[in-house]
Structure 1
Amino acid sequence: MSLPAKVMRDGQLEKRSSGLLQLWKRKRCVLTEDGLRVHSCGGGGSSKAKELRFERMVTVDCVEHKRGLVYFTVVMAAGKEVDFRCPQDGTAWNAEIALALVRHKNLEAVQTCRDRHLSPGHLGSAGEDEEL
């Protein structure tokens, strides 16, 4: 059983729709140690969240400041881009998402390095008591 990921930020962002008109829609977003969950704001009932997991995220890109808003793009490994905007006041979402992504990628790299050094192939390679 895994523990739920720690919530780092919870609030509202606007996400650009992928439809023909590309309208901006208000979404409730939850930034966790695992990624960004995007929930619909309307409808009353509980909706299924779209999850942008750090494992599949490449970068947070294209920051633009215009008319009191910060525009940014989350680029996914499959080449998909998800556009967001938020008010410029306070700590910007794009910075928090980018920092959380870097933290996640660093932890992944450390774990990969540990796994490589603890693998059976590496344990006997330093000349320790090997059987001949």
Structure 2
Amino acid sequence: MSLPAKVMRDGLLEKRSSGLLQLWKKKRCVLTEEGLQLHNCRGGGGGDVRSSAWSSRAKELRFERMATVDCVEYKRGLVYFTVVMATGKEIDFRCPQEDTAWNAEIALALVRYKNLQAVQTGRNRHLSTAHLGSTGEEEEL
């Protein structure tokens, strides 16, 4: 069993539904080192994250499946942005303009995750070529 990922931010975002009407639905979003967790509201609670009833089960958008955070637009006091998944699926979000750090924090966390993965891949590649190189040098002698 692994330890829970560190929470970097917790708050409200609105997500556009993928249905025919494409309605905006409030979600409690928890940004962690692994991705973005989306919790549904279970009741008609107020706008406060702590006073609303949120489902314990969450949809998770993991960084390993994300490609980028795109399309930032400011309109009528709201910030609109899109999370693009590796499959090409686009998920639209919006939040109040005074809360604009959401899109930046998601993008920075995604970059941090991808950089750590690249460093780990490079380190593994270096270790495997160093190991292969050492046996090859011994053969030449």
Calculate the TM-score normalised by the size of structure 1.
0.90
**Structure with a larger share of its residues in helix:** 2
1:68-83 to 2 correspondence within 5 Å?
68-83=77-92
Contact kept in structure 2, 1:61 and 1:74, CA below 8 Å: yes
Two-structure CA RMSD over aligned residues (Å):
1.9
- The Cα of 1:118 is off from its aligned counterpart by 1.1
Instruction: Give percent identity, aligned residues only.
Output: 78
Q: Residue 46 of structure 1 corresponds to which residue in structure 2?
A: 55
- Please say if 1:31 is aligned against 2:31: yes
2-structure distance, mates of 1:37, 1:103: 17
1:122 is matched with 130
Can you list the C-alpha shifts for 1:16-71, whole angstroms capped at 9, x where unaligned? Answer: 00011100000000000000000101244735211000000000000000111100
Instruction: State the shift of 1:127 in Å.
Output: 7.6
Deviating runs (4+, > 4 A) in structure 1?
126-129
Change (3 A) 1:113 1:76: same
Note if contact 2:41-2:55 (Cα within 8 Å) is conserved in structure 1: no
Contact preservation (8 Å) 1:70, 1:92: no
Distance 2:72 2:30 in 1: 20
Partner of 1:88 in structure 2?
A: 97
In 1, Cα distance between equivalents of 2:12 and 2:60:
15
Partner residue of 1:65 out of 71, 74, 77:
74
Structure 1 unaligned runs (5+)?
Answer: none
In structure 1, distance between residues paired with 2:137 and 2:81: 56
Give per-residue Cα distances to partners, 1:68-124, cap 9 Å, x unaligned.
1100000001111100000111452100000000000000000000000111x4324
* Equivalent position amino acid for 2:98 in 1: D
Residue 19 in structure 1 maps to residue 19 in structure 2: yes
